Amino acid sequence: MSLQCGIVGLPNVGKSTLFNCLSNAKAQAANFPFCTIEPNVGVITVPDERLNKLAELVNPQKIVPTTVEIVDIAGLVKGASQGEGLGNKFLANIRETDAILHVLRCFDDENVTHVDGSVNPVRDKEIIDYELQLKDLETIESRISKVQKQAQTGGDKQAKIALEVFMRYKIALEQGKSARTVKFDNKDDEKIAHDLFLLTNKPVLYVCNVDEASAVSGNKYVEQVKQSIHEEEADVLIVAAKIESEIAEFETYEEREMFLSEIGLKESGVNRLIKAAYQLLALETFLTAGPQEVRAWTYRKGSKAPQCAGVIHTDFEKGFIRAEVIKYDDYIRLGSEAAVKEAGKMSIEGKEYIVQDGDIMHFRFNV
């Protein structure tokens, strides 16, 4: 399963610097708007220490972590939804992403110009929200025009249901609210809503880009952001992108850990951001372990064993028979699969088993 997040924000808030830290792909980071002319897509390795501990016991030929895709979008400005700057093109690029990472400038630096002349992350957030809402309203009005006649005069039941969904979104967006504030009670409505791919219906994580002195506990700008989103279903993450770019230059794990310790951080902002994105999308990881490879696989929280088998290969899901499950802690404590079996700690699970984060899975199937 591939997770894709789109990074949005005004110009010069640190988006491309953060993207460079997150990914092997290199976006052009420069002190002027629209320096990222084409969308950059980078692939991030998801940090998971469990893989390394398993590999120490299994001694596989290779370790395969799971990954996250990040799409870096050029800085949006006022009027982006109407095509100002490079708005229309780049709003389209994030339409099919799974989540939005909204980067906000929460640092003072007279050497880095602000597109609106002053540092005010709440104002910046509202500008982006407004542009995304306008784009969604455009989408909704287009859909309404297509189904309204069928719903009102044609007796089309599905068109009538769709129109009701569209109208609820239209009312909310016209009130300056994001689509994610609209909730539905049944699966038919939810399916229609999902298929719209509305920008403001995506889960959002606000990433406050701060200076080095504020990397641990934040600052007044971060507090302003927290207050402004207290009614939203959203989280805030503090990251010092400049520090993260320095961490990325260190060649060894030990050097990175020493640097983090010196500035009072237990974990890099990049790692915390990836984990926060997972939590944002209710994603978890199951593991497979054998002499060829130790590997992490991403699945939606609450998925049953056959669905997780399908993450590896569709044939596994079609011909699913059973799953042999070892809890990660049992494997580490006992030291091998054989020892786990001998201790009676391997369970045999059927189609209704809900996979848990960290489960070590072996699927039996027949096609």
pLDDT above 60: residue 112 = yes
pLDDT value for 135: 86
DSSP states along 27-88:
----SSTT---S-EEEEEEPP-HHHHHHHHHH--SEEE--EEEEEE-PPP-TTGGGT-TTHH
Handedness of CA 207, 211, 212, 213 (dihedral sign): negative
Cα within 13 Å of Cα(81), Cβ side: 15
Residue 20 in 3-state DSSP?
A: helix
Q: What is the pLDDT of residues 264-275, one digit of tens each?
A: 888 888 888 888
Q: Which helix (H) or strand (E) holds 305?
A: helix 305-312
Percentage with pLDDT > 90 across the chain: 44
Cα within 13 Å of Cα(221), Cβ side: 25
pLDDT above 90: residue 141 = yes
pTM: 0.80
Q: Which residue has the higher pLDDT, 324 or 229?
A: 324
Q: What is the pLDDT of residues 162-194, one digit of tens each?
A: 999 999 999 999 998 889 889 888 888 999 998
Highest mean pLDDT among 128-137, 261-270, 331-340: 331-340
Torsion-angle region of 278 (φ positive above 0: left; ψ -120 to 50: alpha; else: beta): alpha
pLDDT value for 66: 85
Q: What is the pLDDT of residues 38-85, one digit of tens each?
A: 557 777 778 888 999 999 999 999 999 888 788 887 666 566 555 554
Q: How far apart are CA 18 and CA 7, in angstroms?
A: 9
User: What letter would DSSP give residue 257?
Assistant: H
Q: Are 74 and 103 in contact, with CB atoms under 8 Å apart?
A: no
Which range among 67-71, 115-119, 194-198, 231-235 shows the weakest confidence by mean pLDDT?
115-119
pLDDT value for 25: 44
Q: What is the pLDDT of residues 82-106, one digit of tens each?
A: 555 445 555 677 777 888 999 999 9
pLDDT above 50: residue 32 = no
- The two tokens of residue 354 are 């809900």
Which range among 207-211, 222-226, 240-244 shows the weakest confidence by mean pLDDT?
240-244
